[in-house]
Amino acid sequence: MINQAISIDKLPDGEDIKFTVDAALFSELGERLVGKPYVALGELIKNSYDADATKVTIRFGDDLIEIIDNGHGMDFKEFESFWMRVGTQHKQRQRYSKKFQRPMTGSKGVGRLAVQLMAKEIGMRTVSEDDQNLEIQVYVNWSEAQQAGELTEAIAKYRITETSLKYPGNSKHGTAIILSGLNQTWDTDAITELAQEIWPLQPPFRTARGGILQEEAFDVELEAPDPEAVTHFENQMEAVLDIWDAKLNGRLIPASHGKNCKVELTLEFKGAEKILHEYEAIDYTLNSVEFEIRIFTLKGKQPSGIIVDDAREYFRSFGGIHVYDSGFRMPFYGTVEGDWLRIQYDQASRRHKSILLPEELQVFRGLQFLPTLSRSFGVVHVDTAKEREIAEERNVADKGEYLQLQVTRDRLVDNSAHESLRDIVRYAVDYYAMREAARQYSEKETQRPTEPVQKKFERVEDVIARYREDIPRPAYRTLSREVKSAVTASKAEQERITRQAGLLGALATTGMSALAYEHEIKKHHFKLLELARELGEIKVDDPTIQEQLDSIVRRLNAIIDQSRSLRAVFSAMLEEENRTTIGRFKARSLIRDVSDQLGILLRGVRPTTHRVDDDLLLPQAGFAEWSAIFQNILLNAVNAMLDNPDAKTKRINVSSRIDGDRRTILIQDTGVGANLTTAEELFKPFVRKLKISPERKALGVGGTGLGLTIVRMITDNIGCNVSFTNPEDGFTTAFQIQWREKT
């Protein structure tokens, strides 16, 4: 049969006919885009979050679920344009909520369809914050909507009436969703799954002492007939704060009878006995300070169904050590910009000794164990009103050296009292770092080999010499020769390891500096994002100036995107789990991940991996180790091609071979090639055969002469062999990684 191309013109004189959409798409969208009832209910609660609600009530009744919030509600225009329009992308365009600038959680515009999974009928009542006298009431019967035949014919009944409903927190505005005719039974397990879905929305500082709701909080309250279900829900919503690895509790004891004030501190490592410590606060003017700081190790499987990535993202948003004044949180403290304890500063400076702790509490390089903001959460309670009252009683208020709020009310006045507060809390954090360092060193010491291999061989040599007369001469000569050979080999190996250790020290220092630099870049990255957003919101009447502003925003966003791509190169080392988790990774997936990390550094050359066996597993090692191996190999290939004027096409091809128990990964490119007779020299430090122009080095694509040295050091440790080999037709260079599979 002969295949023949079929063509058709654009039918300029044809008849028009419109596409239609079956109303059954309601059900199809709900099931495919959401899938599970607790996810569907979670979507409605996320809508409340996007509406800047601070309180949401979920009420389970007899064949009924109510979701009531005190968000900004909707006027008729918003109801018509957003709620009644399926697939609207206004959240993608808006990105942040109106009032609190929360990142929008929804983006597809199909959340309202999700309720079709849960109930046969839906009612809604909403009052806009901008017009609190009018309420929109809506009713939808899903069965009738599906029977309408076409989606555009499906209707929702509504009416506009005077406001009659009070929303959570006695608010005059908000939204209430009422689901009736439920399709599922909501037992304790289902309600717990709901909590697992929505807990990241709820900040850990949502309420202060006495239950006072913070302005930016998002508090979710469950009302259900089953008290056990309510308890499980509340426990799950709080579970993330219970996965701590260490906990600090401190309380200031004011000065009295000529004695300096002191701090009573309790440090608890999970699963270990509490450590009690007391320290003086000399010349401090404070009278009332209490704090609790929890430190988290976010890796491995977590209890209560908490996903590690969710927990990391949660503490990236809400972590840090926050300050509350009489139950109200001061927004400045605990943020990346508000590094009031100078923890990030000391980490970036690689400081290893505390300036607050006495010498007997110092541990070698102990401050390297300071927790980052993204894996700690703390609350420090003060009372500026009480501090002023006591200062007035002592007739020292006029000096101003007491704890007091700034006019902006988001932070404290920077005086001696504020410095005292900082030192009290920072002392506790430093104390934790020292004790954690001691724990880590103790654990490593128990795992350290007690004697070098060379010494063991020498002891064997001594034993053979001692029993020389009892050993037959031929056997003695053979044993002596082999042991001497082993001693010589072990000495050579020890010297090689010593040289590598020196090189690793230099590389580690460079790596730590790079990570510290990346940390600072990340802060500037967020500031650029905020600047771009603020500039994008500026609107002027002069079209020329407006175009200039828009052009600046576009260029800023381009710089931000490029910065994000460059930071991805470090991604394998930034996450602790990547640095510590050992496993067997799929070769093709990992190589693709590394290609994505390198991004613009590959200069448009995308390695092809279709010839890599999809089931091929790399030898057991860490993700960071394999990332370092393939990053260096791919960057070497790019270098070889970019500075090769004879390369007509720039290609990198990765393939795999299986020969019995031998496995090979082959990386080939169209660069300048390698001389196989001298290629072994390239694995020595700082040896380069390829001359790289200064312009090419400025692009940040290699040029140090350490890439292949690093590759061999890592692969030797993993148990692989690396070498250059003859390339296939169409390529000029071939680099192979080989290992044997153990049966």
User: Could you write out the three-class secondary structure of 124-142?
Assistant: EEEEECCEEEEEEEEEEEH
Give 166-214 pLDDT, tens digit per residue: 899 899 999 999 999 998 889 999 999 999 888 888 887 654 444 444 5
**Could you give the number of structural domains in the chain?**
4
Of 100, 155, 381, 374, residue with least CA distance to 249: 381
Residue 22's pLDDT is 56
Domain coverage including residue 674? 577-740
Same domain (yes/no): 340, 422: yes
Task: Answer with the residue of higher pLDDT: 7 or 627.
Answer: 627
Backbone angles phi, psi at 112, to 5 degrees: -65, -25
CATH of the domain at 98: 3.30.565.10
Residue 704's pLDDT is 52
- Percent pLDDT > 90 in the chain is 28
Residue 409: inside a domain: yes
Q: What is the rounded average pLDDT for all residues in the chain?
A: 79
Locate 531 and state its tokens: 């600047």
Same domain (yes/no): 297, 407: yes
Residue 149: inside a domain: yes
Same domain (yes/no): 62, 203: yes
Same domain (yes/no): 113, 250: no
Residue 235: inside a domain: yes
Same domain (yes/no): 401, 545: no
Residue 466: inside a domain: no
Torsion of CA 167, 168, 169, 171, to 10 degrees: -20
Same domain (yes/no): 214, 324: no
Same domain (yes/no): 297, 384: yes
Mean pLDDT of 643-670: 86
CA distance from start to end of the chain: 50
Mean pLDDT of 526-542: 77
Residue 42: inside a domain: yes
Q: Residue 666's pLDDT band (boundaries 50, 70, 90)?
A: very high
Same domain (yes/no): 541, 632: no
**Hey, is 607 helix, strand or coil?**
coil
Residue 206's pLDDT is 56
Same domain (yes/no): 194, 295: no
Task: Choose one of 214, 240, 266: the last residue of a domain.
Answer: 240
- Percent pLDDT > 70 in the chain is 73
Same domain (yes/no): 368, 514: no
Mean pLDDT of 415-439: 93
Give 726-740 pLDDT, tens digit per residue: 999 989 999 999 999
Task: Answer with the residue of higher pLDDT: 259 or 310.
Answer: 310
Residue 43's pLDDT is 85
- Residues in CB range of 46: below 8 A, 6 or more apart: 105, 106, 111, 198, 201
What number of residues does the chain have? 743
Beta pairing partners, 136: 126, 160
Phi-psi region of 127 (alpha: psi -120 to 50; beta: other; left: phi over 0): beta
Give 148-169 pLDDT, tens digit per residue: 555 556 678 889 999 988 899 8
* Sign, Cα dihedral of 162, 168, 174, 179: negative
Task: Choose one of 206, 240, 274: the last residue of a domain.
Answer: 240
Residue 471: inside a domain: no
H/E/C letters for each residue in 475-538? HHHHHHHHHHHHHHHHHHHHHHHHHHHHHHHHHHHHHHHHHHHHHHHHHHHHHHHHHHHHHHCC
Asked if residue 614 lies in contact with residue 656, where contact means CB atoms within 8 angstroms, the answer is no
Q: Residue 86's pLDDT band (boundaries 50, 70, 90)?
A: low
Same domain (yes/no): 227, 250: no
Residue 356: inside a domain: yes
Same domain (yes/no): 141, 99: yes
Residue 183's pLDDT is 86
Locate 414 and state its tokens: 């920077």
Asked if residue 583 lies in contact with residue 652, where contact means CB atoms within 8 angstroms, the answer is no
CA distances to 60, 74, 210, 415, 454 from 384, rounded to whole Å, are: 42, 39, 17, 13, 66
Residue 480: inside a domain: no
- Residues in CB range of 538: below 8 A, 6 or more apart: 549
- Residues in CB range of 190: below 8 A, 6 or more apart: 37, 38, 184
Task: Choose one of 529, 544, 567: the last residue of a domain.
Answer: 567
